[in-house]
Amino acid sequence: MTDMDKVKKAMFMFTDLFGLERFDKETLVRFFITVKKNYRQVAYHNWTHGFHVAHSIYAILKSSPGIFKPLEVCSSHAWMCLLVCSTVVLTRLAQVVLTYIGRAVVENDL
C-alpha cells in the first residue's frame, strides 16, 4: 500500500467513525497529508507505524461498539505503542545478545 493509499484509508476510517457533518472534507485531506509529510523518515516511528496504530484502534473500535469511553480511545494509542515498542526492543536486544554471546565484555562495541 502506498503512502497516499494510507492517507485515503485514514480518511475513510475517520469519516466512518466521526462522519463529515462537523468537518470540512478538504481540510481533513490536507490534515492527513500534512501528518504524513511531517513524520520523520526513521526505521520505526514513521507514517506507516502511525497508520498501523490508527488502523488497529479503528478495528478495535468497530468490533466493540459502545464499550470504550472517549478518553479510553485517546489513550489507546499510547498502550498500542508500548506493546509494539516493547516487542521491537526485545527483538533487537535478543539480536544484540546473540551477536555478542561468548565474547568478553571489553571486546563488545555496543
- Alpha-carbon distance of 51 to 35, in angstroms, equals 10
Sole residue written with cell 507514517: 47
CA nearest to 48, candidates 98, 84, 87: 84
Set 45, 49, 52, 77: catalytic member: 45
Examine the residue annotation and report whether 45 is marked as an active-site residue of this protein. yes
Find the helix packing angle between 25-38 and 47-63, rounded to 10°. Answer: 130
CA nearest to 29, candidates 42, 54, 11, 47: 11
Q: Which residues are catalytic?
A: 45
